[in-house]
Structure 1
């Protein structure tokens, strides 16, 4: 990876790749993703390929062969992917109720109202 790529925080490049894949919709190539990402910063083809292979191995992208290369698409929506990652973080905490309480405490009023509506819909009013 280039020095500039190394300056990116861990996961930022993965997030940028996923954003491109979701925004493009359907199957995309490494070249497709690279052409979008290089508008903001220089990245080699191999760097983008490595990130996309990692995302495939993590189960966030699926791929299919297209000649000598692969095409990729997300396995789930942006929203479902975010929920799955939040679940992974909760699974790693020693005190899940405390982590949930802290998360809810950090939400703004609008998000809390929406969370309350979702919970009422799913489990009913308490």
Structure 2
């Protein structure tokens, strides 16, 4: 599942989802499997959100294959297809691959420039990965 929408002016999950979608995903990632009513009740604690709106958004997330839906008795239970970490890993990898395919060395140059602002552990991991890539060629 690749999210085609990416909002560079947003932060966190709002880069991939609309505001309500992001809240719903956050709730489900923190609670695993829930009904629409359960999700709506959590949202109501923060800000009143209509049940039908929550239902529509959650069913659209099912259509986008971001949520799974299963029926238990008369209730429908929803849960994320991927964990939060798996989702972020998949999306960032896809975005990186697309940027590399389209912009190549410019992207690498910008990523290297950004390393000036990161901790030494990340730089060490990058150096290790580069050595592995060179060894495999």
TM-score normalised by the chain length of structure 2: 0.66
Residues 105/82 of structure 1: CA separation in 2 closer, same or farther (3 Å cut): farther
Residues 101/60 of structure 1: CA separation in 2 closer, same or farther (3 Å cut): farther
Distance 2:59 2:75 in 1: 12
- Map of 2:125 onto structure 1: 117
Structure 2: tracts of 5 or more residues without a match: 1-13
> 1:124 Cα shift?
2.5
Matches within 5 A, 1:35-46: 35-46=41-52
Distance 2:51 2:61 in 1: 15
Distance 1:52 1:15 in 2: 11
- Over the aligned positions, Cα root-mean-square deviation in angstroms equals 3.0
Distance 1:43 1:118 in 2: 44
CA displacement, residues 46-71 of structure 1 (integer Å, 9 cap, x when unaligned): 11111111111111111101334411
Structure 1: tracts of 5 or more residues without a match: 1-8
Find the structure with the greater CA-based Rg: 2
Number of residue equivalences? 116
Matches within 5 A, 1:1-126: 11-25=18-32, 27-90=33-96, 93=99, 94-95=102-103, 97-99=105-107, 101-102=109-110, 105-106=113-114, 108-110=117-119, 113-114=121-122, 116-117=124-125, 120=128, 124=132
